[in-house]
């Protein structure tokens, strides 16, 4: 009987430790984002998910929703200014749901023709695993122009 209680206690402690790590990463990301915002003298809004954003132009017409097909120009960079990806003059097209969670949440805040800066915590980007040239647990910044919404 004591082995069952000990086993249960270990499972509870492991679950708590895993949850604590994720909470700590969210706090780390928030500190990084707040420092970036201060250093860049940005005026931003935020959401409960941890996304920060600054709308340069709200645009006109349609806002995308989860079933929208969007066309965008974008530049993605780290908080140190290093660009890791950009559309380089050729627009990128895809269903909004095919993009990272930070885009899925942020792009509906503008309309066709709008421009937004998305400051995305790692959980809304590529998480702890990263993606290609993006290390795990990395905060990302995107400048996005929403060219079309279908």
Count up the domains in the chain and report the number: 1
What is the pLDDT at residue 89? 86
Q: Regarding beta strands 115-120 and 140-149, do their DSSP bridges make them parallel or antiparallel, or are they unpaired?
A: antiparallel
- Compute the average pLDDT of residues 19-47: 90
Read off the pLDDT of residues 52-103 as tens digits, 9 standing for 90 and up: 999 999 999 999 999 999 999 999 999 999 999 999 889 999 999 999 999 9
Q: Which CATH number characterizes residue 141's domain? A: 3.10.50.40
What is the pLDDT at residue 44? 98
Q: Regarding beta strands 69-77 and 92-95, do their DSSP bridges make them parallel or antiparallel, or are they unpaired?
A: antiparallel
Query: Mean pLDDT score of the chain, rounded to an integer?
Result: 89
What is the pLDDT at residue 19? 52
Bridge partners of 95, per DSSP, are: 69
- Compute the average pLDDT of residues 9-38: 72
Bridge partners of 120, per DSSP, are: 140
* Cβ–Cβ under 8 Å, residues 138 and 36: no
User: Out of 19-28, 39-48, 139-148, which region has the weakest mean confidence (pLDDT)?
Assistant: 19-28
Range of the domain at 22: 2-149
- Compute the average pLDDT of residues 93-116: 98
Closest CA to 28 of 76, 77, 79, 75: 79
Residue with more model confidence, 7 or 116 = 116
pLDDT at 21 over 90: no
What is the pLDDT at residue 10? 42
């Amino acid at each position: 009987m004591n082995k069952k209680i000990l086993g249960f206690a270990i499972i509870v402690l492991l679950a708590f430790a895993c949850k604590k790590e994720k909470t700590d990463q969210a706090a780390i990301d928030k500190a990084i984002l707040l420092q970036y915002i201060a250093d860049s003298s940005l005026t931003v809004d935020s959401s409960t998910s941890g996304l920060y954003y600054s709308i340069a132009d709200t645009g006109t017409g349609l806002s995308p929703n989860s079933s929208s097909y969007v066309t965008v120009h974008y530049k993605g960079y780290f908080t140190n200014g290093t660009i890791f990806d950009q559309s380089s003059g050729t627009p990128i097209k895809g269903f909004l749901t095919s993009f990272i969670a930070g885009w899925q949440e942020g792009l509906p805040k503008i309309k066709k023709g709008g421009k937004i800066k998305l400051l995305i915590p790692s959980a809304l980007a590529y998480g702890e695993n990263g993606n290609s040239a993006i290390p795990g647990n990395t905060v990302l910044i995107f400048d996005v122009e929403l060219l079309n919404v279908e």
